[in-house]
Structure 1
Amino acid sequence: MSHKYFPAVSPSSIAVGTLFSQSAALITLVPALGSAYERAKEAETPEKLLKSNHSADELMLWSSSLVSSAARSYAVSVLLQCTGTVTKKGAASLGLLLFAVSSAQSLLLGIFRYKRPLEHVILIGAGNLFDTVGLSMVLNWWGTRPPLV
């Protein structure tokens, strides 16, 4: 597959979007990071900490989250660029549409199928809403078009 099928976006928009998504994900990853910090304090040596299974799992979780944030930033940048979205209202509408497509099913399943507590589902939904709408608005503010050189 040729690279000409992928629209060009500004590399800085991918970096800004990745930074925003990682910051938004940090809100939901705080409990995991807290337990990792406690294990790091309890480990006698850095080598012992790195050899533990928990550290490898957390490193894999963080690295996959980083890659997925970069891919999501690219995809939202391309959508903003291809749809010609230039207003805050348009970016918010695009973000709401992305939220509905990506998160609505899992939220409904959490409530009705898995009978998760409503507070938990609302917290996850608010985080996803902040991530999708916020990402589209931040990228719209930053700009997604590559420099014309």
Structure 2
Amino acid sequence: MATLSYLPPVKPSAIALGTVYNHAISLAILGPVFGETYREAQRANSKEEFFKSKEAASAASAWGSSLVGSGVQTYAVGALINATGTLTYKGAAYLGSLVFLASAAPSFISQLATEKRPLDQVAVTVLARVAETVGLSVFLTWWGTRTNPFD
């Protein structure tokens, strides 16, 4: 039987609360998807008809993948906090900034330079991603991520 002992431990409550925090931020971005789903539900004649619709399947897929992604990202940031020994909010903000720059910044540069998306649309997405990375790392530092803080 394979063990996961090589994965850094992160306090389960930190993973749970961080997942809720991060998922809430993600849902702000997915709002238009759920808005269309709500309108489709109002137009449907029955629950069965709605649940068979494309919008319901799309919303369920977006919600589920966002929830799983939030959990994975929360664990990864918590493990980084533990691995680097980050104890201060300033250190957590730096760590979150590095995660943001490594994971999200390239796509925003592409959206502005190549895709020519409107600046306000990109700015809203940037703010949400900063909240998902910098905000998450500060939140997790506040809550605590170590399973045994005396180790």
Which TM-score band (shorter chain)?
over 0.9
Q: CA RMSD in A?
A: 1.3
CA distance in 1, matches of 2:59, 2:48: 16
2:47 aligns with 46
When the two structures are superposed, what TM-score results if normalisation uses the length of structure 1?
0.94
Call closer, same or farther: CA 1:147–1:43 in 2, change over 3 Å.
Answer: farther
1:74 aligns with 75
Three-state SS of the structure 2 residue aligned to 1:3 is: coil
Q: Which runs of 5+ in 2 are unaligned?
A: none
1:126 aligns with 127
TM-aligned CA deviation for residue 62 of structure 1? 0.8
1:142 aligns with 143
CA distance in 2, matches of 1:84, 1:128: 24
1:22 aligns with 23
1:6 aligns with 7
Structure 1 runs of 4+ aligned residues shifted over 6 Å read none
Structure with more helix by fraction: 1
Aligned residues, how many? 148
CA distance in 2, matches of 1:28, 1:56: 18
Matched residue type, 2:72? A
When the two structures are superposed, what TM-score results if normalisation uses the length of structure 2?
0.93
Q: Matches of residues 74-113 of structure 1 in structure 2 within 5 Å?
A: 74-113=75-114
Measured against aligned partners, the alpha-carbon deviations of 1:32-91 in whole angstroms (never above 9, x if no partner) come to: 111111111111111111111221121011101110100000000000011110100000
Three-state SS of the structure 1 residue aligned to 2:105 is: helix
CA distance in 2, matches of 1:8, 1:94: 18
Q: Which runs of 5+ in 1 are unaligned?
A: none
TM-aligned CA deviation for residue 147 of structure 1? 4.8
User: Identity of paired residues, percent?
Assistant: 41
CA distance in 2, matches of 1:77, 1:36: 33
1:36 aligns with 37
